[in-house]
Structure 1
Amino acid sequence: MDEQTVENNAENASGDQASLVLGQVSAGAHRLTVRAAKQDDPGSPVVVLLPAMGVPARYYRPFVADLHAQGLAVVTFDVRGQGESKPSAARGVRFGYQSMIDDVDGVLDLVDAAFPPAPRFLLGHSLGGQIALLYAARRPDRVQGVALVASGSVWFGSFPGMYKFRTLFGTQLVAAASALLGYWPGHRFGFGGRQATDLMHDWARQARTGRYRLNGSTTDYEAALREVRQPLLTVSIAGDRLAPKSLVDHLAAKAGRAKRTDKHYTRAASGAKNLGHFNWVRNGGELSRWVRDWIAAVDSSVQA
């Protein structure tokens, strides 16, 4: 599925559960609007959903509805440069992985105010999963668990076969083009949306080295990840060429001390003819039940 198809599906997505605005996260010139689909019970677990690169939050409305139907409160927002967040990525607009990690702090401040008694979980898709896990490594006190859906390391060595070399060449080409142009015009190339240069350099560095060494950050994330203890749910998706299971495993292995629940979402489980990196969002009923059951098991272990 290309970027234009994702954008069209986002426009056509129905079931807008996340209509309540919790507030805004501000950092310099950046403004992120945070929305929530609440449950009647203020103690219901809260899932904070972090989108994939270049994917607007509204694309996830069907999955938000699925999660909400499972009794979960769901918080959504557009990451920097995407959807309704301001400003859009452009020449001179600077942000990378570390800025996105910092933004999660602001989102959770709003969650704390709106849902003070509720356990909090991060659920990230693709790049959103990387940011969720890095956040949990840096702030282990703020979340009870992390779910990674179609989310893996982009290290070229974890790709199968010839995809290794295609990934290495492609990611470094994107980084070079971003440096030359002052931003990545992914909306013109059908990959990744408009993105800031620093973000694409962080992404390309991890693809090249397999390690998280972030622009503008002094945190040793590789060491922090080794100390992660929050439970992990990892879900690979049938037909996903962008995040096959080998990439999911490489990312999860960085948090090797965490208790991991590993699942594979098949066409049979979803009831869909085709899945892949994006289509699962529109066929996520069974996956939302997996998330609910995993959260319930985490809560039970904490209370035991």
Structure 2
Amino acid sequence: MQIQTLDTGTAQLSLRVYDATLAAHTSVVIGGAMGVRQNYYAPFAQWLSSQGFRVTTFDYRGSGDSLPDSAKGSLRGFKADLLDWAGDYEAVVDAAKAALPDAPLYLLGHSLGAQLPGFLKNQDKINGLVSIAAGSGYWRDNAPQLRRMILYFWYVLVPLATRLFGYFPGRTLRKVGDLPAGVMMQWRKWCLNPQYSVGAEGESARLSYGKVSFPVTALSIADDELMTWRGTQNLINLYTNAPRSFERIAPADLQVRRIGHFGFFREQFNNTLWPRAQQIIEGMAGVARKTA
């Protein structure tokens, strides 16, 4: 594993690159969930690299290892929103493609990491997206337990805490994690709109999602405490012109008690869920070769 710094022109991003044990045949960029640091994906990324993939993980600006020294005491005043994070994602895709220009490149997006690709301007460099535990964040699409308190979260806690601190103090509140004010308030706007990001951002967003033509496969987790099956469908169907497919995975299918929103990337699933992601990517690559 190599730690790299990527200068986007507006931010310094921390990347971790996992080179394949043998010659890499495919590049994979892992887009993380909101408030989840890239090191959470390290075991999975290391495993995937052992299967012949060159894997890149990263932290969005203002989070994890991409937090500048000036913001390590506090995110107050740090400027970033979700479209900036989409730009970070885009820059990482550019870097990964430049490093392995003749190989196909796939995104593996966890939650937010499967929502932002609709905004990327370099979609022509992407050969497919595997969505993990992702869905629309619209509050009515949230899981029942979350839905019981989410309106208090969006209408009371988020605006008050963000205004008071100048950022969202998620670590203190034990919710999501510390986030720049612009990210949190834009996410709030998305989550209060029935059509989520496309509804909140308007026609330009709708057109951007509609330009996606690479295949998208969504793995929905039955015991996800945040995302529902309906929410997954509503998100993936924003990619109106992409070939779309869905899989529903329940803990009972794997003879385990729990998977949840974050469980896919735990090492206990290195013989079950992890190979399934590999199969999906290789299946997309096989279809692309046949149609080339």
Query: Is the shorter-chain TM-score for this pair beyond 0.5, marking a shared fold?
Result: yes
2:198 matches 1:241 = no
CA RMSD of aligned residues (A): 2.4
Q: Is 1:225 aligned with 2:206? A: no
Partner AA of 2:284 in structure 1: V
Residue 79 of structure 1 corresponds to 60
The residue type paired with residue 143 of structure 1 is I
Aligned pair partner of 1:132 in 110, 114, 117:
117
Q: Distance in 2 between matches of 1:174 and 1:132?
A: 29
1:139-158 aligned within 5 A: 139-158=122-141
Change in Cα spacing, 1:248 to 1:76, as seen in structure 2 (3 Å) is: same
- Confirm whether residue 52 of structure 1 aligns to residue 33 of structure 2: yes
Identical columns (%)? 26
Alignment correspondent of 2:7: 25
The amino acid that maps onto 1:266 is A
Aligned partner (choices 12, 37, 48) of residue 18 of structure 2? 37
The answer (yes or no) to whether the contact 2:80–2:183 under 8 Å persists in 1 is yes
One-letter amino acid of the counterpart of residue 290, structure 1: R
Match in the other structure for 2:93: 108
SS at match of 1:205: helix
The residue aligned with 1:299 is: 285
| Alpha-carbon contact 2:143-2:227 (below 8 Å) kept | no
What residue is the counterpart of 2:275 in the other structure?
289
- TM-aligned CA deviation for residue 274 of structure 1: 1.9
Determine the C-alpha separation between the residues in 1 that align with 2:99 and 2:148.
Answer: 46
Q: Which amino acid aligns with 1:80?
A: R
The code of the aligned residue for 2:19 comes to K
Please say if residues 81 and 194 of structure 1, whose CA atoms lie closer than 8 Å, have aligned partners that are also in contact: no
Counterparts of 1:31 and 1:183, CA distance in 2: 20
Scaled by the length of structure 2, what TM-score is found?
0.87
Q: TM-score, normalised on structure 1?
A: 0.83
Report the number of matched residues: 282
Aligned partners of 1:174 and 1:184 also within 8 Å: no
Distance 1:106 1:160, change over 3 A: closer
Contact 2:32–2:59 (8 Å) recurs in 1: yes
Instruction: Judge conservation of contact 1:42–1:118 (CA < 8 Å) in 2.
Output: no
The residue identity in structure 1 corresponding to 2:177 is G
Determine the C-alpha separation between the residues in 1 that align with 2:244 and 2:115.
15
Out of 142, 153, 156, the residue aligned to residue 173 of structure 1 is 156
Q: 1:206-225, aligned counterparts within 5 Å?
A: 206-209=190-193, 210-212=195-197, 220-225=204-209
Tell me, yes or no, if the aligned pair for 1:125 and 1:149 is still in contact at 8 Å. Answer: yes
Check the 8 A contact 1:150/1:236 in 2, yes or no: yes
